[in-house]
């Protein structure tokens, strides 16, 4: 069993509830063992009882941007391979950090990588994925509510008010991500 040390294993970000999980890796000549998620540890830091009901695996090409997606459930993301560049956006209209972008990079291309995971609370956190490097990314995520497309929202990846600093030009985008609304269209009261 791996050690329980929430203060050391979980790092708070500048957006309330969003944390970077960097639990220890136990390895030897055979390989390594890593537990990206510990329920009690996460609860000790965030106060959130995370009970996943769905596990999803995405395989993403380099140069892809999936952004900015917000769903109303808690989510734990774990890129197993590749380099994840993740601009996270606070889309909670009542939050003191509304519109703030927090940049997180997780590089799991090396054998001795930290093997980090990222926890995103429900209620309006925009999750973005940008795959860097040349390696395909195996991207796993756990959610605590079954996927319901009607509860998923998006904001334009190139929204001028967010001014996200993307490290690639001419990204590969889905048709949906090409037409997501701007922040001003979703929250006009914040810009009047």
If you write DSSP's letter for every residue of 102-169 in order, what string do you get? EEEEEE--STT----EEEE-SSSEEEEEEEESSS-EEEEEEESS---GGG-EE--TT-TTT----S-S
Examine the residue annotation and report whether 69 is marked as an active-site residue of this protein: yes
Q: Is the pLDDT of residue 14 over 90?
A: yes
Average pLDDT over the chain, rounded to an integer: 92
Percent of the chain surpassing pLDDT 70:
96
Conformational region of residue 91, where left means phi above 0, alpha means psi within -120 to 50, and beta covers everything else: alpha
Q: Name the strands in the sheet holding 153-154, side by side, starting at the edge strand that comes first in the sequence.
A: 101-107, 83-90, 125-132, 65-70, 153-154
Examine the residue annotation and report whether 37 is marked as an active-site residue of this protein: no
* Selected catalytic residue, list 34, 103, 141, 146: 141
28 is written with which tokens? 């030897």
Comparing 187 with 26, the larger pLDDT belongs to: 187
- In the prediction, which pLDDT does 33 show? 81
Confirm or reject CATH 3.20.20.100 for domain 6-25+33-191, answering yes or no: no
- Local confidence band at 113 (pLDDT 50, 70, 90 cut-offs): low
Q: Is the pLDDT of residue 172 over 90?
A: yes
- In the prediction, which pLDDT does 4 show? 63
Q: Mean pLDDT over residues 144-160, rounded?
A: 93
8 A C-beta contact, residue 49 and residue 131 = no
76 is written with which tokens? 């734990």
Domain chopping of the chain, boundaries: 6-25+33-191
Q: Is the pLDDT of residue 2 over 60?
A: no
Comparing 5 with 100, the larger pLDDT belongs to: 100
Q: Mean pLDDT over residues 114-139, rounded?
A: 94
Q: What is the C-alpha to C-alpha distance for residues 169 and 147, in angstroms, rounded to an integer?
A: 30
* Selected catalytic residue, list 69, 78, 85, 139: 69
């Amino acid at each position: 069993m791996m050690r329980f040390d929430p203060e050391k294993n979980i790092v708070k970000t500048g957006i309330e509830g969003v944390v970077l999980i960097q639990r220890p890796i136990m390895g030897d000549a055979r390989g390594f063992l890593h537990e990206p998620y510990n329920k009690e540890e996460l609860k000790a830091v965030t106060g959130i009882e995370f009970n996943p009901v769905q596990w999803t695996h995405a395989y993403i090409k380099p140069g892809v941007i999936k952004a900015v997606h917000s769903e109303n459930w808690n989510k734990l993301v774990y890129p197993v391979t590749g380099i994840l560049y993740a601009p996270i956006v606070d889309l909670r209209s009542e939050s003191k950090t509304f519109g703030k972008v927090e940049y997180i990079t997780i590089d799991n291309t090396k054998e001795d990588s930290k093997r980090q995971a990222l926890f995103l609370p429900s209620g309006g956190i925009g999750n973005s994925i940008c795959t860097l490097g040349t390696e395909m990314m195996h991207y796993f995520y756990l959610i605590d509510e079954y996927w319901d497309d009607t509860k998923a929202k998006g904001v334009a990846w190139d929204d001028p008010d967010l001014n996200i600093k993307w490290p690639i030009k001419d990204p590969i985008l889905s048709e949906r991500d090409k037409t997501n609304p701007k922040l001003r269209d979703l929250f006009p009261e914040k810009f009047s």
